[in-house]
Amino acid sequence: MVSGPTLSPISTAAPGQFPQPVRPRGATAAGSPGQLSAEQQAVVAQLAVIDRHVRAHEQAHLAAAGPYATSGPSYGYTVGPDGNLYATSGEVSLDVSPDPSDPEATIQKARVIEAAANAPADPSMQDRMVAAQAAQMEQAAEQELAARDQRAHPAYGSQDPIDLGRLFSRIM
């Protein structure tokens, strides 16, 4: 999930690396996998799959966001029956504000943000909302650019002030 830049960054993995689930300080494991019940082992296996999926999802956002990521991934954790922490939610904060320097720069930025929001194979509802916001930002910047071009070239789109018939009669 991507979000705005309001959250404090928490870097839990070096780029391209997916750390293994960790045991919280002071926690003791419920025992080795052989000591967990079959139900607990199934929960641990499911949590491990979710952990890998969440980390890959957030890494996809981060890799596509480029300079507009304002933090590394931050994760929400669940303690499994084995005492280890498993990432079960996450987010990458992005700078989703328009580029004040130029509408063309805003258009490029919006395209990168939209691609970053849609980077995972399964974008969340929040990801889709960020992508839609980026598309709106791109459209607004395109309108601003068109208005600026119209002001710079006011004759653009208006009737040609030169009488072509008179011009041709002078040439011939």
Domain ranges of the chain: 2-151
How high is the pLDDT of residue 152?
80
CA atoms within 13 A on the CB side of 66: 9
Distances (CA, A) of 92 to 50, 59, 150: 17, 8, 38
pTM for this entry: 0.70
Residue 10: pLDDT over 70: no
Q: Which amino acid is at 117?
A: A
Asked if residues 61 and 124 have their Cβ atoms less than 8 Å apart, the reply is: no
Structure tokens at 48: 């491990």
How high is the pLDDT of residue 160?
57
How high is the pLDDT of residue 153?
75
Structure tokens at 135: 């598309």
Residue 168: pLDDT over 70: no
**Look-up: residue for tokens 């000591």?**
35
Residue 5: pLDDT over 50: no
Which band of pLDDT confidence, cut at 50, 70 and 90, is reported for residue 11? very low
Helix, strand, coil fractions of the chain, as percent rounded to 5: 50, 10, 40
Residues 65-104: tens digit of each pLDDT: 999 999 999 999 999 999 999 999 999 999 999 999 999 9
Per the model's pLDDT, the better-predicted residue between 4 and 143 turns out to be 143
Q: What is the percentage of the chain residues whose pLDDT exceeds 90?
A: 65
